[in-house]
Structure 1
Amino acid sequence: MFGSLGAVTLLVSAVLGQGFATPKANGTSGYELKQGPLDTPWTEKVGTTPWPEYPRPQMARSEWRNLNGVWQYRNASGGESEMERPPFRQELESSVLVPFCLESALSGVMGNYTIHSWYRTTFNVPDSWTERVLLNFAAVDYQATVFVNEKQVANHTGGYWAFNIDITDQLNKNGTNELVVFVFDPTNLWPYNVPIGKQKLIPEHIFYTPCSGIWQTVWLESAPADSIEKLHINAGADGKVDITVHTTSNTTTTADFILYEPNSELVKLKIKVPVNKAHSFVVDSPQLWSPDSPTLYNITVKLGSDAVQSYTGFRTISKGVVNGVQRPLLNGEFVFMFGTLDQGYWPDGLHSPPSFDAMVSDLKVLKEVGYNMVRKHIKVEPALFYQAADQLGLMLIQDMPALSTSSVFINDETAKQCPGVSLTPSLDPDTVQKEFDRQLAVMVNQLKSYPSIVTWVIYNEGWGQPWEGNDGVRNTSIDGILTDYVRKIDPTRLIDSVTGWHDHGAGDFYDNHHYSSPQCGTPWYSTPSSPYNSETDHRIAIQGEFGGIGQNVSEEHAWKVAASINAINNTYELDATPKIWNLRAHMILQELEFQIQEYACSGAVWTQTTDVEGEVNGMLTYDRRVNRMDKDMWRRDIQGLYEAAARRARTNGTMGVEGRGGGGG
């Protein structure tokens, strides 16, 4: 049926999806791709009908219409007061390409300080649609107020999360409909403190150009009034399937569940499952999902006249003691997790990859040299990213986007001056924490059916970890409270409560960050970490970040922004040439191999997949045109890590790793 990478997407989009773009209106400037600081090989190929693929592969419907394309845009310089004067039936002055961040070149706006914005487009509903019409947004950063035909239909908060609205009652079914969206995105504007990851209004070295507005696909779909709202599916290595079919009503009826053989239309299992409550059943002798064999099973769920396509993979993530060491287990076996820190930034689209093919190319580069894991770093990706990881066989460590680490104060109404000030946001800390907690739950619920996700990360290096009062003492209880909170929502994954410091002993991992050399499960350490002691800390030892070695690039491949270029020397280590970069990587990976063999190291995260703005420590340059890796060396060294982990699982170490031959250069 769907089989190979991208097949679900390609099948659905080829049969059902037609790109839609609002033509240039009188008084509206036409869309024009901006000249940004850097582009990619995909930039010029985007055109005006971007991301035509069906965007929600785990709950795909047959009747849909893509609304990506050229919309009208206006910077709402009047701020929130403009909400009182929506631009209904007005042509806005500029064009914007949806779904790309307003600050990006691909958007055609390439704005700065786009705190308040208006979007406008028109659409028609196909005559063949006789049931309810749902309007879907895959992600809008940060707060979206949505109007259809001059009626407010939604107000959504959270820059990374999908939402949909039943707009049937607001439609002009026999004519053109108007869609207007007001977006408020404070990023790190004082006094707000919201989950933003690495976005900053004033970028600086490890903090990057922000992303505002509609940055993932917008689409319409047709569904009956009593329809499937969400699917939560987990399939274990023992064949047990846990499923909850959420519906738009409180019905207690049943839905038809059909499971197909892998890469086939042959039905393996067909049963009825109750809706709106958890249900379990067992599938006989499933083929298991793993990085070496990422087998997936396609699924159809039917409720009355509603039918959605989905998929799952049978695997179990757990932990257990192997030869005296606490280990992560995949399908009951210790699998050493080795991946990159994956920022997911693009020079042409920022948060938005220019295309599906571009996004997947990053993952294929990693898989090619033997990485079996990716740490998705304080960002959430489009749903098709997670499907690609499922299909390629890449385990995912998924971070919760972090709260702001500092604020800026805009003292000019035109936002032309925006001095950076390290201020503590004045919003009530309890309010900030409650909203962070709410969005943490949204993340887990939105992503928990993807087989590739093996671990949730709550806090990165203490960013956003609350303090107790003004005495400078970290809140030592919140880590444990949130760990239990996430575990209750999803008991099937491991939890890394705090990757890096300030660790209070919660969660399943002891996670150390150290550049450039690793300190993975070792008795030596650098503050603010501490030595790992397997006798007293019964958690899994992992190197959450390390490496970080950089190699400067020519102007052709650099992010051509003076502040970013000036920050390159802040890189942990700079190597003169790609050859030296590979040699240093080889030396560092051999050190990691020793720690795996002798101590308790169970996984590691190399920084990073690509360069990002002023950071030049990627496997790839920011424009994705240069791959720094000596691929043969990286394959040998990565395989060496896996072999060392297998030896350590059988022995108590050898106090000296035998040479494997080969080398860098």
Structure 2
Amino acid sequence: MTASLPVATQQDGTYPRPQLMRGAWHPLDGQWDFAFRDDPREAPAGVDFDDTIVVPFPPESPASGIGDTGYHLVAWYRRRVTAEDIADAGAAGTGARVMIRFGAVDWAADVWVNGTHLGSHTGGQTPFSIDATDVLDRDGDNELVVRAVDDPHDVAVLRGKQDWLEEPHAIWYHRTTGIWQPVWLEVVPETHVESLAWSSDVPNGSVTLELTLDARPADELDATVELRIAGELLARTNVRLLDRTTEITLHLARQRNGQQYEHLLWNPETPRLIDATITLGRGASEVDAVSSYLGLRSVQATDRRFLLNGRPLYLRSVLAQNYWPESHLAAPDAAALRREVQLILDLGFNAARVHQKAEDPRFLYWADRLGLMIWGETASAYEFSERAIAALTTEWMALVRRDRSHPSIVAWVPLNESWGVQHIASDARQQAFSRSISDLTRSLDGSRPVISNDGWEHAGSDIWTVHDYEADPEILAHRYGSTAAITELFDGFGPAGRRISVGQQDGGQPVMLTEFGGVSYIDQDVEGAWGYSSASDAQDFARRVGGIVGAVRAATPLAGFCYTQLTDTGQETNGLVRADRSPKIPIEDLRRIIAGD
């Protein structure tokens, strides 16, 4: 089995779960039967599937074949799963389980197979799996049905940039309903690896694997873990598994040489990834085998600087909506995710903040492999309530667990611009929630800085972040160009009329301008086009963007920035590139502005 495992660092970017790979799987994307309905309690038997949809594109998008952007409460999906599909998904050995996996379904999903309800899931950005073994006919045809309930007016769920109005306005876009990330089949052994997570200790030259099985071992079970880079064996260990979750630490002998320890480290210039294989066995019998990868690196935020592997690194970030005209929040195809990462790097950025969206893990794979740092963010709710607290807490925990092994992720952002905590400046409960969601994040992953509320009104941030769409470079230079100006900012109100601190003390955290720019320039008709400021032509666009970015780059108290934004998105025409990803001025000119090359 191990011999057939893919090399995780050399995968082609199509498998939906890039850090936990087996030798076989079968995609269920493509044409499904489809219907919009209004009753969230309706059973499959009463549904007339009167249309077809291309999964995994949301029905609001043209790529889905539906293109209906109106208000819809319920979306129904149905497709046939054949014996050939199941056979392609893996070896059907004794006790093997057939899993139906979903990358993301917005918002609440129920799944039936051959008329039997097998499970439910809530959370529009998080993956889930359904065990269909006991109801599947492995030798014939099967019916898979999915119901997705997503109330477009429910502001307690995580909506992000999905508009509550029927037509997009300001900074909000068309809604996303139902399946919007891949669906696939995977056959797994009865005893199998369910999840894994990697962490690294750079000073001690060690790596720790948190290995979770589907259940506590009923009898003797061992795990063999091997780490390699470019085929070279770095470490191997064998551990007896006595519980469902086991922590396994491997020491990398190469890292004892202090003169060459950096050769294995991950950073944007040399994004080195280490391959891993995990094999479960009973004596000489192999039970399960998976491949994975990791990056060895450390992140700190201290002494007013962001540190990668112990050294200051200036962050040149871009705000990325990762929204496409033809497919909306879903990528047009797997290759588009690599192109997006490469585009950001080509523009001279070394980091990106994927805004109000937990992106497809395959995007994170390309960020890991190509060397793009990522701020891990989530969509926000719009109200502060017990339901909203529960929704954000539950989904955010799942996202941190899903993504914490990606070396490209260098910060966590659970809240943005006080969305869902609109009265945090005066409401002690909302301040408590901001602090607690930040501390919860640190309890799940203590290896990265956490921004408690990106933009303003910080209650427990490891980085001071400010949003400022001032268009005059001289004013920006004055606001951020001196230590005295920064201190004044902490003690008073920010440029949006919001306090930068709501009880947070200045402990030498780095300061970053994490939204600014927003210069609109269009050379074609866009209905409702707008930006935070406007350019008259390409030359004026280059001058304005260059002046703003130049002023920010020259502000020495800042440890980094995040420019708004990567692409034109809907009516927001303030991208550096158009919605089709073509640059508004020559890409080499943009790179000179951003990177200072």
The TM-score, its normalising length taken from structure 2, stands at 0.87
What residue number does 2:129 align with? 164
What residue number does 1:465 align with? 421
Of 472, 481, 484, which residue of structure 1 is paired with 2:436? 481
Of 67, 74, 84, which residue of structure 2 is paired with 1:110? 67
Of 384, 390, 414, which residue of structure 2 is paired with 1:434? 390
Q: Secondary structure at the match of 2:539?
A: helix
Cα pair distance change 1:365/1:215, threshold 3 Å: same
What residue number does 2:275 align with? 298
Any idea what the Cα deviations from partners look like across 1:29-69, whole Å, max 9, x if unmatched? xxxxxxxxxxxxxxxxxxxxxxxx22111001112111111
Correspondence list, 1:538-549, <5 A: 538-549=508-519
What residue number does 1:248 align with? 214
2: CA distance, partners of 1:266 / 1:204:
54
Q: Secondary structure at the match of 1:256?
A: strand
- Alpha-carbon shift at residue 439 of structure 1 (Å): 1.2
Cα pair distance change 1:627/1:194, threshold 3 Å: same
Of 349, 352, 367, which residue of structure 1 is paired with 2:330? 352
Of 297, 305, 321, which residue of structure 2 is paired with 1:315? 297
Correspondence list, 1:39-78, <5 A: 53-77=14-38
2: CA distance, partners of 1:290 / 1:531:
31
Correspondence list, 1:243-642, <5 A: 243-251=209-217, 253-261=221-229, 264-273=230-239, 275=241, 276-284=245-253, 285=255, 287-304=264-281, 305-321=287-303, 326-404=304-382, 429-465=385-421, 467=423, 475-504=430-459, 506-517=460-471, 518=476, 519-520=479-480, 522-523=485-486, 525-529=494-498, 536-555=506-525, 558=526, 565-566=527-528, 568-569=529-530, 571-596=531-556, 600-624=557-581, 626-640=582-596
CA contact (8 A) 1:100 1:214 kept: yes
Cα pair distance change 1:606/1:179, threshold 3 Å: same
Q: Secondary structure at the match of 2:317?
A: strand
2: CA distance, partners of 1:331 / 1:3:
26
How many matched pairs?
547
Correspondence list, 1:140-289, <5 A: 140-187=105-152, 189-190=153-154, 192-202=155-165, 203-238=168-203, 239-251=205-217, 253-261=221-229, 264-273=230-239, 275=241, 276-284=245-253, 285=255, 287-289=264-266
Q: Gaps spanning 5+ residues in structure 1: where?
A: 11-52, 406-427, 559-564, 642-665
Any idea what the Cα deviations from partners look like across 1:502-531, whole Å, max 9, x if unmatched? 223x12011110003545474365243458
Any idea what the Cα deviations from partners look like across 1:276-310, whole Å, max 9, x if unmatched? 12232321326110011100011111113211111
CA contact (8 A) 1:136 1:163 kept: yes
Amino-acid identity (%): 29
- Alpha-carbon shift at residue 437 of structure 1 (Å): 1.1
Of 76, 80, 91, which residue of structure 2 is paired with 1:122? 80
CA contact (8 A) 1:99 1:214 kept: yes
Cα pair distance change 1:4/1:581, threshold 3 Å: farther
Q: Secondary structure at the match of 1:582?
A: helix
Aligned residues: CA RMSD: 2.4
CA contact (8 A) 1:245 1:274 kept: no
- Alpha-carbon shift at residue 175 of structure 1 (Å): 0.7
- Alpha-carbon shift at residue 619 of structure 1 (Å): 1.4
Q: Gaps spanning 5+ residues in structure 2: where?
A: 256-260, 282-286
- Alpha-carbon shift at residue 347 of structure 1 (Å): 0.5
CA contact (8 A) 2:236 2:250 kept: no
Cα pair distance change 1:501/1:430, threshold 3 Å: same
The TM-score, its normalising length taken from structure 1, stands at 0.78
2: CA distance, partners of 1:535 / 1:465:
20
What residue number does 1:648 align with? none
- Alpha-carbon shift at residue 603 of structure 1 (Å): 1.1
What residue number does 1:27 align with? none
- Alpha-carbon shift at residue 330 of structure 1 (Å): 0.3
1: CA distance, partners of 2:498 / 2:508:
16
- Alpha-carbon shift at residue 473 of structure 1 (Å): 6.5
2: CA distance, partners of 1:103 / 1:527:
33
2: CA distance, partners of 1:334 / 1:468:
32
CA contact (8 A) 2:457 2:500 kept: no
Q: Secondary structure at the match of 1:499?
A: coil
Q: Secondary structure at the match of 1:606?
A: strand
Q: Secondary structure at the match of 1:302?
A: strand
Q: Secondary structure at the match of 1:344?
A: coil
1: CA distance, partners of 2:247 / 2:8:
30
Q: Secondary structure at the match of 1:281?
A: strand
CA contact (8 A) 1:362 1:609 kept: no
2: CA distance, partners of 1:473 / 1:236:
37
2: CA distance, partners of 1:246 / 1:531:
41
Any idea what the Cα deviations from partners look like across 1:3-43, whole Å, max 9, x if unmatched? 898x3136xxxxxxxxxxxxxxxxxxxxxxxxxxxxxxxxx
2: CA distance, partners of 1:488 / 1:431:
22
Report the AA paired with residue 9 of structure 1: D
Q: Secondary structure at the match of 2:67?
A: coil
